[in-house]
Structure 1
Amino acid sequence: MINNVLVANRGEIARRVLRACRDLGIGTVAVHSDPDAGAPHVREADVAGRLPGASPSETYLSSGLLLEVARRAGADAVHPGYGFLSENADFARAVLDAGLTWIGPPPEAIAAMGSKIAAKKLMAAAEVPVLPGLDPARVTEADLPLLVKASAGGGGRGMRVVRALDGLADAVAGARREAESAFGDPTVFCEPLLEGARHVEVQVLADAHGTVWALGERECSIQRRHQKIVEEAPSPAVGPGLRGALCGAAVSAARAIGYLGAGTVEFMLLPDGRFFFLEVNTRLQVEHPVTECVFGVDLVRLQIEVAEGARLPEAAPEPRGHAIEVRLYAEDPARDWRPASGTLHTFEVPGVDAEFAVPAAPSGLRLDSGVESGGEVGVHYDPMLAKVIAWAPTRRAAARRLAAGLRGARIHGLTTNRDLLVRILGEPGFLRGETDTGYLDRIGLGVLAAPLAGEDAVRVSALAAALAAAAASRASAGVLGGLPSGWRNVWSQPQRRSYEGPFGAIEVDYRLGRDGLVSELCPGTSLVRAAPDEVVLDHGGLRVTFAVAFAGDRVHIDSRLGPVALTVVPRFADPSGHLAPGSLLAPMPGTVVRVETEPGAAVAEGQTLLVLEAMKMEHRITAPSAGTVAELNVITGRQVEAGTVLAVIAENPK
């Protein structure tokens, strides 16, 4: 029997494992880096051990430190979660050699699938359909388009699309750097790029007594940077016959490597029904909640019970309904998926029926989150904030429930991909099930990443923000505090406030007098009531409530018209903040991994000047306009903070 589990991970997946352990009555041990000292998973564990440092390499990837914490805490088992060391065969062996139970597949199975190159050969021998692998040194024009892939790891890291031979060398070099940083292994290979294909995977679960379950398939085709952002079960493209073939191939793959515990066999599915093996993820998947909802199982609990030697029932449970999951990231899709870091002032999702568990009712909304209001999102780890999952009798019902939950969420302090996710869930092609790995490119971010709040909604939200700010300033005004701020019996000048919004600068002016609210910005809009945190307006003949929250120079306004974030423009600008024209600032903290220009060089608009590594991914910094590099303030290997002037581009005369 397992009595005390060390969770060798952080964030959302650590909280998920802790929840399962609590339900089983098992003691728990958390680990944390220095930036994670105040994280929710640390508080929720029975005890927690510090991993000194901040970067993954010196903390969550340090097997020696993890095992030392396990020894001090008296843990008798280790659950690796996903990412970090979850697919590291050496770590699994070290856990077993220390006399602990490894809650995962045997090290031999991990090693067999640890190299995608070797895994393809093994699967081909087991008669599982595979795509041919290509040596990057032998690629020809006839092989294009292709995908450069890291042999180790996953999560979209170390992957590049190549459509022209002159881009192959840079793609291979970039993939190798990213793979080395994320997985400690720079080995890459190439394979044909299957355009128009779907990414479909099968959840398997195997015990030590010869039983292997295939718990249906998941559709994971909607991806950015080769990383999934929307997943669902079952796939809208898979019928009973194809499902049987996919599940049969997945079971063959699991048996071929002597698999034990929970794992996922991934395939590429072509429109004609042919499918090809991609890889086996020898761990729990990020998207496991959709399978849990549809099949009514707790995969983490089953992982633990299988590790204890339990026997699975001969037949897997029957599926019920449809589940859709979205990954909520702190990132800006409209700016090349730029990650965001800082304080998450508010994080609230309405209507949640369960956290880290299947909802009790036949349908519901589930939240698996690694963050909470007031927490910090750092630069050292993946920017995923949470997974939101809807389970319903039908696919359309699940999409509608999930979209409503996301639309009503209050997320303040960081830019997120929430608006993109809501738009995907309501997009006609998605609702028809017409998704493949090129979905985002085909529909276009111009459509999908557009703010939920249009220009009219932003204007009236800005008016609500101004009225709330005025109400806050009058809250301590004694006997006059009950009057709306700016109220005049005889007025001469309007009240004014300035904001910067998603569509540019907004000047709010209004008057409050005997005739009520008068605003040129929103003519015909009247005030019902105003408080520092809530304003009610009659707009377009309908009463609308605006929840208003202030955080420094930012103000967040939530209403049925859509979420709006504005920056307050001070009345008097600080001259010390002036930057030279053409200054190019670091959008986030990171490390300069490559510089592709030099002082005096002529550059074109959109040309890559340098590459920053942050949040486990590489990010291109490009020239905002054509011109000449007047200043270059970086070198390879330098750490930079957000807002650092990286370069100054002198624009070409027009």
Structure 2
Amino acid sequence: MAYTSEKYTHNPLIHRDRRLGKASSPWVASFSCENLKPLIVCRGPIRKEAMDVYAEMGITHFGILLSEKDSIVYPNALAPELRTLTDSNRVHRVPDYTGASKEERVERIGQIIGIALDNGYDSIFAGYGFMAEDDEFVAAIEKAGLKFIGPCSATQAGAGKKDEAKRTALSVDVSVTPGIDNVTARTLVKKHSSREKLVALANSDGLKVDKKILDDKNLSLEELADHILYASYDKGIDLFSIEELCAQVQTEAAEMFKKFPQSRIRLKAIGGGGGKGQRLLGAGLLNVKNPDDALIAKECAEAPGLVREILNEVKANGVGDNKNILIELNIEQTRHNEIQLLGNGEWCIALGGRDCSLQMHEQKLLEVSVTQEGLMAEIERAKAAGKPEQVKALESDLQVLKRMEEQSERFGKAVGLDSASTFECIVDRDRHYFMEVNTRIQVEHRVTELCYALKFTNPDDPKDFFMVESLVEAMALLAEHKKRLPRPERIVRFNASVEARLNATDASLSPHAGGIIRYWSKPIEGEIRDDQGISMLNPDTGMFMKYRVAGAYDSNIALLLTKGDNRQDSYEHMSEVIRSTTLRGSELATNLEFHYGLVNWFLGRNVMAKPTTRFVVPYLTLVGLLKETANKIDPVYAFLQMKKYYQKKISDAFASEPEVAAKEAKNISSLLDRKGTLITRPIERLLGDPHLLSGWLSMNTKNFRMDEKGKVVWLRNPVGVLNETYEYLHMGYRPHKPAAEIIWSHDNELLQQALAFSRTIRQHFGLARDEYHKLTEILANDKPQGGFDAEKWEQIRSAHFGYEAGLEMLGILFQVGIATKFWDLKVEDDLEITIPEHLTDPELQARMKKILVPPPATKADEIVSVCGGMYYGQEAPGMPPFVSEGMHFEKGQPLYIIEVMKMFNKIYAPFSGTIDKIVITGGDGTIVSKGQPLFKITPDEKFVEVDEAQVEKEKRTVTGEYLQAVLA
């Protein structure tokens, strides 16, 4: 569901009736889709979006398909869409959408088509699920006489498979990534090394290959092998073993490493997507200029295991499956840009771009619009601000975008694109490489919808037109009217938009299956929230209905979107949306705090920065360093020590007057006591969540500097910074909220007094907010300034001292930033991001991941599941188990695989030891929970228990050192 605070409606961006059949213009009315009868066979936010858009279009006969995992396998995971679609005749079920094997997938296709035909549906919409890119599924739909709301099977085959798409791209002069797209053909040629042997193979296996192809001497052996392979897929047989394929990939990878030193290689299943079916090879060669054969062979030895993982992950390891894998050069300093395409088979239009570089494990996290209009506006702003390097960088991006849009339209026409698709590219500074086409609507399609609307105009009357602001609506129109639709004109709506994917992940962005959402705050004004209906209240009670994040499919819970006149506006609004979001539950973990820290990191630096796909892991490592350092600080102890510092300072100042000294020391102690919780509560909150601290440090980058002695010098009034900190933490005074979540009333009263005083005195001297250093210089004068008499001047100075006393403690946060080299990760004038080398260290990255999310509590004699998900004890069906009872394992050895959100995560031993007993029951496919014992073990080394007293002592020592640095 997507809605704003004004009204509960799916799409708050549309303020008109979508029912074209009611239009006064006969031409517009002729494009009505009210007779369309679609079956929606996908899940997640796109299912609810399709339901709402179809209802708005006047489509009354639509239904949805549920997997049993939506409501049966996982308790309390009932599809929230059922709260609005109450007609049980329009709700249909299958065990799983795609099945666990090739046989089950074929069976499921038949079931889905049967459901559609038996229930009067004439079309099928598969959203952005994997079935949306399954050319066999689409072909079966078309064969059954149904419409597919998406690209046709011919387009799916020509553009959806990564190998075919790459060959098509080369044929129409589209820039592609260097690599190999036919390793299966090469595997077959290696096994049958002549034309005669290949022809004999085809004949002996009774493969249906056109005789003209078999007789064509102009075809290369690899081209002939490709034709024979496709015939084998149709027959459902294998012509080589997985072991032979693995050996060929290993050989090809070794040759590529020799050709491209200091690089890694990306292995990609041709049918993968959303990060599935992709692995990187050659981490040990990344910084080696001239690797020898032995080192290359050592790195390539991992290839067979990675190939099996890929095939297993995309379910292409069955007999007769197309097992082709792309072997591509991994462009290391790369941005991931994509172009939204729409076509009707004859025309194709590009609808701008999206930068999806902020991702981890191939999973996108934050996506931002990239449009010609938006870039041109930013170029003018940079020129006006006198930033020539930024202007040059943005102009380069504009030229790259224009080339990508032009090439994407050319590619779309070449494959006869007849619906929505996405042209994905790798961008390396001023160059781009075509990567793949997603022949479906994308998760982030709304980023484009916010920037552009489509205007369809009557070719015979330019005043006769209709507008479309939804790609889901456009896909329905194309399915129903295809060739009749004229090429639309794209109309600018907003110059910028941004989408944050709210995922079920922990603080280290690892998948976190399970968890129940028990409360979700209402959206704020202008917030666009696609959450498949989770936020809908019970219509009878007005109460929130709990929802379990099942973990059976992808990790996405919701899509949060904002828009603006420029990227700065959209980022600021996104920060406000996340800050205002309250999400509570049981065993619930999301990446909400990560997004808040990340968005504010960019707001503090430069929202036009150019992060690469390598940015998030080093950034997350830096956040881990913040947490590791913050864990050593005790704010309450620091505050008590600061009181002693002030008392001593007063005593020293009045050393010759003991009575006065005692009185003044008591006064300062009383004053600081009044401010204790005002100061310590936000600091404790920031130190307790490194994602919040990251955003706060970045936003305050220009509010301080360090002098030559390492002391914090404020460039902004710390009273104002403290007030902004409360707002940043969403702890501003709101009487209706629980006291634990807001500034306490007596603290707020004191803070408001301090703000009023600071504002009054600053305005009296005609100073701007960022001229705090001038104010401190003025107030340092013993002689009255600004026309005040001596008595008033002393009162002003005393009040200034009293309101700001103790705020030095905020400087501890800056000291944490200095200690972790926080500001070494920075945006340069040309918008490139400098990533310090130490943040790319794999060992440090792994250690910080554990700092962010410590392993589950366990006994010394057991190994437990690192997270919830589906357990597998072997790499693939038929392979030997990773471990057995009685065996010894080494540190770094694989122990098991956990499948979470359709991703397969291999878990390695954190230490060496012996497996005494395998305690997990049920075998492969068993659902386990975080912390569940899997193996009883005897570790090789004895674990030493932590001395809590020693930890506390070290904490106070470090806290004292940091405090001394800010008070010195």
TM-score range, shorter chain: 0.7 to 0.9
Corresponding residue of 2:781: none
Corresponding residue of 2:598: 424
* Correspondence for 1:583 among 840, 856, 862: 862
Return the letter of the residue paired with 1:262: A
Return the letter of the residue paired with 1:588: G
Q: 1:202 to 1:55 in 2, by over 3 A?
A: closer
Return the letter of the residue paired with 1:42: L
CA distance in 1: counterparts of 2:581 and 2:861, whole angstroms: 37
Corresponding residue of 1:11: 44
Q: Contact 2:505–2:589 at 8 Å: present in 1 too?
A: yes
Return the letter of the residue paired with 2:303: L
Return the letter of the residue paired with 1:324: V
Corresponding residue of 1:201: 338
**Which deviates more from structure 2 when the two are superposed, residues 83-92 or residues 595-604?**
595-604
Q: Contact 2:515–2:589 at 8 Å: present in 1 too?
A: no
Q: Contact 1:581–1:648 at 8 Å: present in 2 too?
A: no
Return the letter of the residue paired with 1:289: R
Query: What are the superposed Cα offsets for residues 401-459 of structure 1, whole Å, 9 maximum, x if unpaired?
Result: 112211221222210111111111111456242211111123234417978xx879999
Deviation of the 1:255 alpha carbon: 0.6
Corresponding residue of 1:189: 326
Deviation of the 1:606 alpha carbon: 5.3
Corresponding residue of 1:489: none
Q: Contact 1:34–1:53 at 8 Å: present in 2 too?
A: yes
CA distance in 2: counterparts of 1:435 and 1:198, whole angstroms: 7
Q: Contact 2:511–2:900 at 8 Å: present in 1 too?
A: no
Q: Contact 1:266–1:279 at 8 Å: present in 2 too?
A: yes
Return the letter of the residue paired with 2:168: L
Q: Contact 2:369–2:448 at 8 Å: present in 1 too?
A: yes
CA distance in 2: counterparts of 1:579 and 1:198, whole angstroms: 40
Deviation of the 1:44 alpha carbon: 3.3
Q: Contact 2:342–2:350 at 8 Å: present in 1 too?
A: yes
Q: Contact 1:34–1:50 at 8 Å: present in 2 too?
A: no
Q: 1:431 to 1:256 in 2, by over 3 A?
A: same
Q: 1:391 to 1:75 in 2, by over 3 A?
A: same
* Correspondence for 1:73 among 119, 142, 146: 119
Q: Contact 1:200–1:221 at 8 Å: present in 2 too?
A: yes
* Correspondence for 1:368 among 530, 534, 537: 530
**Which deviates more from structure 2 when the two are superposed, residues 414-423 or residues 612-621?**
612-621
Query: What are the superposed Cα offsets for residues 261-319 of structure 1, whole Å, 9 maximum, x if unpaired?
Result: 11111111111x11111111111011100000011321111111122224144432236
CA distance in 1: counterparts of 2:132 and 2:625, whole angstroms: 33
Q: Does 1:639 align with 2:775?
A: no
Q: Does 1:280 align with 2:450?
A: no
Q: Contact 1:350–1:409 at 8 Å: present in 2 too?
A: yes
Q: Contact 1:349–1:406 at 8 Å: present in 2 too?
A: no
CA distance in 1: counterparts of 2:121 and 2:911, whole angstroms: 57
**Structure 2 counterpart SS, 1:332:** coil
Corresponding residue of 2:313: 178
Query: What are the superposed Cα offsets for residues 174-231 of structure 1, whole Å, 9 maximum, x if unpaired?
Result: 12211227997543221000011111111111125x3321101110111111121111
CA distance in 2: counterparts of 1:605 and 1:540, whole angstroms: 55
Identity, % of aligned pairs?
A: 23
Structure 2 stretches lacking a partner, 5+ long: 1-32, 72-77, 184-248, 283-298, 376-393, 454-468, 536-543, 637-686, 690-732, 751-856, 875-880, 945-968
Q: 1:213 to 1:543 in 2, by over 3 A?
A: farther
CA distance in 1: counterparts of 2:431 and 2:348, whole angstroms: 24
Q: 1:245 to 1:627 in 2, by over 3 A?
A: same
Q: Does 1:34 align with 2:68?
A: yes
Return the letter of the residue paired with 1:316: R
Q: 1:385 to 1:104 in 2, by over 3 A?
A: same
Q: Contact 2:348–2:487 at 8 Å: present in 1 too?
A: no
Corresponding residue of 2:230: none
Q: Does 1:89 align with 2:224?
A: no
**Structure 2 counterpart SS, 1:14:** helix
Q: 1:202 to 1:610 in 2, by over 3 A?
A: same
Deviation of the 1:647 alpha carbon: 1.5
Q: How does 1:607-646 map to 2 (within 5 A)?
A: 607-633=893-919, 637-642=924-929, 643-646=931-934
Corresponding residue of 2:350: 214
TM-score for both structures, normalised by structure 2: 0.52
Query: What are the superposed Cα offsets for residues 61-91 of structure 1, whole Å, 9 maximum, x if unpaired?
Result: 8222222222233222211111131011222
Q: Contact 1:33–1:53 at 8 Å: present in 2 too?
A: yes
Q: 1:153 to 1:124 in 2, by over 3 A?
A: same
- Rg (Cα) greater in structure: 2
CA distance in 2: counterparts of 1:247 and 1:158, whole angstroms: 27
Query: What are the superposed Cα offsets for residues 319-341 of structure 1, whole Å, 9 maximum, x if unpaired?
Result: 6320010111111142x613221
Return the letter of the residue paired with 1:387: L
Point out the structure with the larger helix share: 2
Corresponding residue of 1:511: none
CA distance in 2: counterparts of 1:449 and 1:616, whole angstroms: 30
CA distance in 1: counterparts of 2:578 and 2:744, whole angstroms: 25
Return the letter of the residue paired with 1:263: S
Deviation of the 1:602 alpha carbon: 4.7
**Structure 2 counterpart SS, 1:230:** strand
CA distance in 2: counterparts of 1:72 and 1:375, whole angstroms: 32
**Structure 1 counterpart SS, 2:114:** helix
CA distance in 1: counterparts of 2:566 and 2:528, whole angstroms: 16
Corresponding residue of 1:337: 510
Q: Contact 1:348–1:411 at 8 Å: present in 2 too?
A: yes
Q: Does 1:159 align with 2:201?
A: no
Return the letter of the residue paired with 2:368: E
Q: Contact 1:200–1:219 at 8 Å: present in 2 too?
A: yes
CA distance in 1: counterparts of 2:130 and 2:43, whole angstroms: 10
Q: 1:582 to 1:322 in 2, by over 3 A?
A: farther
Q: How does 1:418-497 map to 2 (within 5 A)?
A: 418-428=592-602, 431-447=607-623
Q: Contact 2:360–2:617 at 8 Å: present in 1 too?
A: no
* Correspondence for 1:240 among 395, 398, 405: 398
Q: 1:632 to 1:644 in 2, by over 3 A?
A: same
CA distance in 1: counterparts of 2:447 and 2:905, whole angstroms: 31
CA distance in 2: counterparts of 1:350 and 1:36, whole angstroms: 25
Corresponding residue of 1:121: 167
Q: Contact 1:590–1:639 at 8 Å: present in 2 too?
A: yes
Q: Contact 1:156–1:227 at 8 Å: present in 2 too?
A: yes
CA distance in 1: counterparts of 2:523 and 2:54, whole angstroms: 26
Taking only aligned residues, the RMSD between alpha carbons, in angstroms, comes to 3.5
CA distance in 2: counterparts of 1:593 and 1:443, whole angstroms: 33
**Which deviates more from structure 2 when the two are superposed, residues 45-54 or residues 583-592?**
45-54
CA distance in 1: counterparts of 2:65 and 2:317, whole angstroms: 20
Deviation of the 1:110 alpha carbon: 0.4
Q: Contact 2:63–2:92 at 8 Å: present in 1 too?
A: no
CA distance in 2: counterparts of 1:99 and 1:626, whole angstroms: 59
Deviation of the 1:247 alpha carbon: 0.5
CA distance in 2: counterparts of 1:430 and 1:649, whole angstroms: 50
Q: 1:382 to 1:319 in 2, by over 3 A?
A: same
Q: 1:419 to 1:96 in 2, by over 3 A?
A: same
Q: 1:101 to 1:266 in 2, by over 3 A?
A: same
CA distance in 1: counterparts of 2:361 and 2:746, whole angstroms: 41
Corresponding residue of 2:449: 292
Structure 1 stretches lacking a partner, 5+ long: 354-364, 461-500, 504-527, 545-577
Q: 1:419 to 1:529 in 2, by over 3 A?
A: closer
Q: Contact 1:51–1:65 at 8 Å: present in 2 too?
A: no
Corresponding residue of 1:139: 253
Point out the structure with the larger strand share: 1
CA distance in 2: counterparts of 1:323 and 1:220, whole angstroms: 12
Query: What are the superposed Cα offsets for residues 596-652 of structure 1, whole Å, 9 maximum, x if unpaired?
Result: 344455545554321122321112333344444343335962514214311134340
Deviation of the 1:23 alpha carbon: 1.2
CA distance in 2: counterparts of 1:602 and 1:583, whole angstroms: 14
Q: Contact 2:511–2:555 at 8 Å: present in 1 too?
A: no
